[in-house]
Amino acid sequence: MRIRDVEFAYGRHQVLRGIDLDVAPGTVCALLGPNGSGKSTLTKILAGVLRTRHGSVRLGHTDLLRMRPRERAKVVAYVPQSSEVPFELTVREAVTLGRTPHMGMRPAARDLAVVESAVARLGLTELAERRLSDLSGGQAQRVLIARALAQEPRVLLLDEPTSALDLRYQVETLQIVRQVAREEGVAALIAIHDLNHAATFCQQVVLLSGGRLVADGPATEAYDAELLGRVYGLPVEVLHDAGQTQVRPVLGPLA
């Protein structure tokens, strides 16, 4: 996926400024930056939720920004921070919604098989007949991710997918996204706050600040203590040990 010169503004407030970014198939890319840096806005533009007339997003020879919604839904899946999935649906019914762009009037055998695979992959088999209204926030979030996987997308967009999950499911969810990207050749973009999760699970990290892209690459190269400290307004240290990269805040003495 090739993003070129994408800009966006809410009225006179410029949110994105000339974003250029490549994400290869099979890659998990973390979108990082403080609140208001443009992470969620960029994912919404790629998903077609927000429209911009400036820039292009190409998948092969196709500009995703110019596709009709149903055609885009066949190649792009989006998991927002919150969703309007009807809460009277069961887990299986909600995941089946992900097959809508591919189905006729009724789901075919392949559609049902894809749904069951997505349900199992997210550890939802025992909850498949439960209604969404009976689930915890973390369980409901996993349903949304399963629905996205049921679309069999070429691009997977997730806006803070682990924010409602406990540590175990944060790790499992990010592992699943990485596995899907690798095995299915999906380009996955995750707007996320946790710098250490991004370094652990994402092959590519992109840092946004003031609507501009200020770093892009593997965490071992893109994480610079001075730059991160300036972007987040907090002094940090970046540690590299045994192939792992970790960011820690530098804390002064307590008052």
- Taking only the tens place, the pLDDT of each residue in 185-203 is 999 999 999 999 999 999 9
Instruction: Kindly state whether residues 3 and 71 are assigned to the same domain.
Output: yes
Residues 53 and 161 in one domain: yes
Task: Specify the higher pLDDT residue, 243 or 155.
Answer: 155
Instruction: Specify whether 4 is located in the same domain as 66.
Output: yes
Q: Decide if 233 is inside a domain.
A: no
Q: Are residues 146 and 184 in the same domain?
A: no
Can you tell me the mean pLDDT for 174-185? 89
Q: Are residues 67 and 2 in the same domain?
A: yes
Residues 122-171: tens digit of each pLDDT: 889 999 999 988 888 778 888 888 999 999 999 999 998 887 788 888 88
pLDDT grade, residue 86 (50/70/90)? Answer: low
* H or E segment and range at residue 120: helix 109-121
Give the pLDDT confidence score for residue 105 in this predicted structure: 78
Residue 133 located in a structural domain: yes
Residue 218 confidence class, pLDDT cut points 50, 70, 90: very high
Q: 51 and 103 in one domain? A: no
Residues 95 and 26 in one domain: no
Looking at the predicted structure, is the pLDDT value of residue 255 above 60? Answer: no
Reported as a single tens digit per residue, the pLDDT across 94-123 is: 999 999 988 877 889 999 999 999 999 888
- List, as own/partner pairs, every contact residues 205-208 make where C-beta atoms lie below 8 angstroms and the sequence separation is at least 24, other chains included: 205/29, 205/30, 205/32, 206/21, 206/29, 206/30, 206/31, 206/32, 207/32, 207/33, 207/231, 208/31, 208/32, 208/33, 208/37, 208/38, 208/39, 208/42
Is 179 within a domain?
Answer: yes
**Crossing angle for the helix pair 109-121 and 137-150, to the nearest 10 degrees:** 140
CATH code, domain carrying 40: 3.40.50.300
Both 196 and 127 in a single domain? no
Band the pLDDT of 87: cuts 50, 70, 90. Answer: low
Residue 238 covered by a domain:
no
47 lies in which domain range? Answer: 1-75+153-224
Q: Has residue 70 been placed in a domain? A: yes
What is the average pLDDT value for the chain, to the nearest integer? 90
Q: Is 100 found in the same domain as 37? A: no
Chosen domain end from 135, 152, 169 = 152
68/87: higher pLDDT: 68
pLDDT, tens digit, for every residue of 36-75?
899 999 999 999 999 887 899 999 888 988 888 889 988 9
Residues above pLDDT 90, as percent of the chain? 62
Same domain, 15 and 64: yes
How many domains does the structure of the chain reveal?
A: 2
Q: Same domain for 135 and 159?
A: no
DSSP character string of 213-234? EEEEE-HHHH--HHHHHHHHTS
CA distance 158 to 144: 10
* Residue 44 forms part of a structural domain: yes
Q: What DSSP element (H or E) covers 148? A: helix 137-150
Give the confidence band of 84 by pLDDT, cuts at 50, 70, 90. Answer: low
Q: Per-residue pLDDT for 242 more than 90?
A: no
Let me know whether 143 and 202 are in one domain.
no
